[in-house]
Amino acid sequence: MRRREPGSGGPRQVMRDLMDGELLSSDGRSLGRVDDVSAELGDDGILRLVEIVSGPEALAGRVSSRLRPVARRLLGGRLDTRIPLADVEEMGPTIRLKRPADGYRTGRSDRWIAEHLLRWIPGSGR
């Protein structure tokens, strides 16, 4: 993975450098934004980034810690997309991924909102 270090070239500050970064597939399609990250503590005591998370449940937890359990109960993690760090080609303001857009399960939240919420709005065409 190639990394473009913002600032002075020092260690990557994950929350500053990745959060809200645009996810771009190898075929140039926007897949959303980074809403959260997942990390694991190694046996050597070093915290390592494992995956990038994008979706409404992850975003709700960032907006307010009180929204996280509500979103978890309502959505059950069905609409969040987890992208392994191994799928990242390049990190920077835009996170470039190795696979085309069809290789990722993004856009599910948009479909869920349209099918379960927007369909009840008069004039929605359903």
Give the sheet arrangement for strand 94-97, strand by strand: 2-3, 88-91, 94-97, 22-24, 30-33
Give the sheet arrangement for strand 36-41, strand by strand: 36-41, 47-54, 81-84
Instruction: Round to whole Å and give the CA distance between 107 and 40.
Output: 27
Mean pLDDT, residues 63-74: 81
Residue 122 has pLDDT above 50, yes or no: yes
Does the 2-120 domain belong in CATH 2.30.30.240? yes
124 confidence band (pLDDT: 50, 70, 90): low
- Domains of the chain by residue range: 2-120
pLDDT digits (tens, 9 = 90+) for 84-121: 999 999 988 899 999 998 888 876 666 666 676 667 77
Lowest-pLDDT range of 9-23, 25-39, 54-68, 73-87: 9-23
Residue with the bigger pLDDT between 75 and 81: it is 81
Q: Residue 93 has what pLDDT?
A: 86
Cα 41 off chain centre by: 20
Closest CA to 62 of 73, 77, 54: 54
Q: Residue 63 has what pLDDT?
A: 79
Q: Residue 111 has what pLDDT?
A: 65
Q: Residue 42 has what pLDDT?
A: 92
Q: Please report which helix (H) or strand (E) contains residue 47, including its range.
A: strand 47-54
Q: Residues 88, 17: contact at Cβ < 8 Å?
A: no
Q: Residue 83 has what pLDDT?
A: 93
